Amino acid sequence: MAGSVSSVYLQVIEDVISKVRDEFINSGAGETVLGELQTIWEARMMHCGVISPNMERPSLQKQTGPITPVHDLNVPPVEEYETPTAEMLFPPTPLQTPVPQTPLPQTPIQTPLPGLDQMYNIPTGPSDYALVSDSRNGGDMKPGRPSPYMPPPSPWMNQRPLGVDVNVAYVEGREDIDRGAPHQPMTQDFFMISAGKRKRDDYASHLAPGGYMPQQDGSGDVEIEFALQKETNFASTGVWGKIKTDSISNVLIRETPTLPQQDGAQDEYDELFHFQEVTNEDYNTPTPAEHDLRAPTPLVGTPKPTKNEAAEDDEPPLNEDDDDEDDLDDFDQGEEETNTQHLVLAQFDKVTRTKNKWKCALKDGIMHINSRDILFNKITP
């Protein structure tokens, strides 16, 4: 059995080596490197005990003939193998991850760092122009974002403060922002709700020139926040309070241009909390008619879910942690029983279950059980 496994392994090695030979030569790496690869590979396999040094491999000898190290390996049995093995085995461990993904390591590192920096930079005061252009860039970036493995041009990302906001902001909100922000005030309001910081800046700049802001009232998102807050304050006063609240809030908004800034000044999280608390009360206290009167109210309803979703978005990591814990548990259990990981790697043709009776048609598999490798062609019922 072991013999057949070894021979299959050796043939695989041979096959791989022979088929990448052209690549090696074309890329300039040359046969020497290829030979080294094969030597080390086989040495490691011997170290693992899956192939024996005495295995006959005539075809290998042919191929490896010109390559000196391999040739050496074939002549003397064990000792020659072990020297290289020990040398090779000790150093390599540190860089296991980078290798398969070699182009990648730079990108993941660079992206988050600029992002963090820019997060802090944003509040300090990007201009409106910067914001708009950035938001567009952010929109462009968005598709790339889910797959961290894409090598994005890092300088490009570094320059865009919005890269950060894109990461933070909720996706749908971002899209609205990107497309609508420059032109339509309504979308700007959406924008403001989903991503507090950026909107705040935009909004403040818009407010600054004119003290009177009809759009504010009409758009209502912002206004509602104010009104709601007022309502909480006035809650004790009862129905009267609510009616007054609207007028008062409007007055307040017009009188004090600082109001929008107040909203903006709040951190996203603070806003979140205020918002949710207030709105909850809002739903309980006022009659639906009042909501209808205030056109914005439905808008408030829409943004809220996005915020809630955002809050929910924060939760999945927790779930992931749970998964990790499970995995850890499994792993621990495995460790308790044995240090070796028993593993079967295969392809399945069909997996069916009837009550507690499972039928798995697996094929072309490698088992690693009790430090032994077993190859199989089929697992059948």
Partner 1 sequence: MSTFELYRRSTIGMCLTETLDEMVSNGTLNPELAIQVLVQFDKSMTEALENQVKSKVSIKETKWVGEKAKGHLHTYRFCDNVWTFILRDATFKNEECQENVGRVKIVACDSKLLAQS
Q: Which of residues 76-115 bind partner 1 (CB under 8 A)?
A: 88, 91-92, 94-96, 98-100, 102-103
Q: Is 143 in the site for partner 1 (CB under 8 A)?
A: no
Q: Which stretch binds partner 1 (CB under 8 A): 67-75, 212-220, 282-290, 330-338?
A: 330-338
Q: Which DSSP helix (H) or strand (E) runs through 338?
A: none
| Residue 194 one-letter amino acid | S
Q: Is 374 in the site for partner 1 (CB under 8 A)?
A: yes
Among 147, 236, 284, 370, binds partner 1 (CB under 8 A): 370
Q: Which is nearer to partner 1, 321 or 330 (CB)?
A: 330
- What are the Cα distances from residue 218, in Å, to 174, 180, 185, 223? 22, 17, 10, 8
How near is the Cβ of 82 to partner 1 at its closest, in Å? Answer: 15
Q: Which stretch binds partner 1 (CB under 8 A): 129-137, 286-294, 303-311, 337-345?
A: 337-345
How near is the Cβ of 23 to partner 1 at its closest, in Å? Answer: 5
Q: Tell me how far apart the alpha carbons of residues 245 and 234 are, in angstroms, rounded to a whole number.
A: 7
Q: Tell me how far apart the alpha carbons of residues 296 and 263 are, in angstroms, rounded to a whole number.
A: 17
Q: Is 319 in the site for partner 1 (CB under 8 A)?
A: no
Enumerate the β-bridge partners of residue 376.
Answer: 365
Q: Is 128 in the site for partner 1 (CB under 8 A)?
A: no
Q: Strand 357-369 vs strand 372-379: parallel, antiparallel, or unpaired? A: antiparallel
Q: Is 354 in the site for partner 1 (CB under 8 A)?
A: no
Report phi then psi at 358, rounded to 5: -105, 140
Q: Which is nearer to partner 1, 255 or 332 (CB)?
A: 332
Q: Which stretch binds partner 1 (CB under 8 A): 182-190, 220-228, 248-256, 354-362?
A: 354-362
Q: Which of 299, 293, 193 is CA-nearest to residue 242?
A: 293
- The burial class, CB within 10 Å (0-12 / 13-18 / 19+), for 321 is exposed
Q: Is 29 in the site for partner 1 (CB under 8 A)?
A: yes
